[in-house]
Amino acid sequence: MGAVAAVCGGKGGGRPDSAMSGAKDLTKIADALAESENILRGMLK
């Protein structure tokens, strides 16, 4: 979550099974979603 939130200028935290994050720059939401897709693809390899 932290890596995705960082794209939007935010940060994340919490437990591995229950994480939360926030964003400051909402204009970068599309970029954050693309980053989450990249992370998930890496996990599935």
Q: What is the pLDDT of residues 2-45, one digit of tens each?
A: 888 899 999 888 887 888 888 899 999 999 999 999 999 999 98
| Domain definitions of the chain by residue range | 1-11+25-45
pLDDT value at residue 14: 83
Positive or negative CA dihedral for 39, 36, 15, 11? positive
pLDDT value at residue 42: 93
Specify whether the CB–CB gap between 3 and 24 falls below 8 A.
no
Sole residue written with tokens 């992370």: 39
Neighbours of 34 (CB within 10 A): 13
Single-letter residue type at 24: K
Whether the pTM exceeds 0.75: the reply is no
pLDDT value at residue 27: 94
More confident of the two residues 1 and 11: 11
Burial of 4 (0-12, 13-18, 19+ CB in 10 A): buried
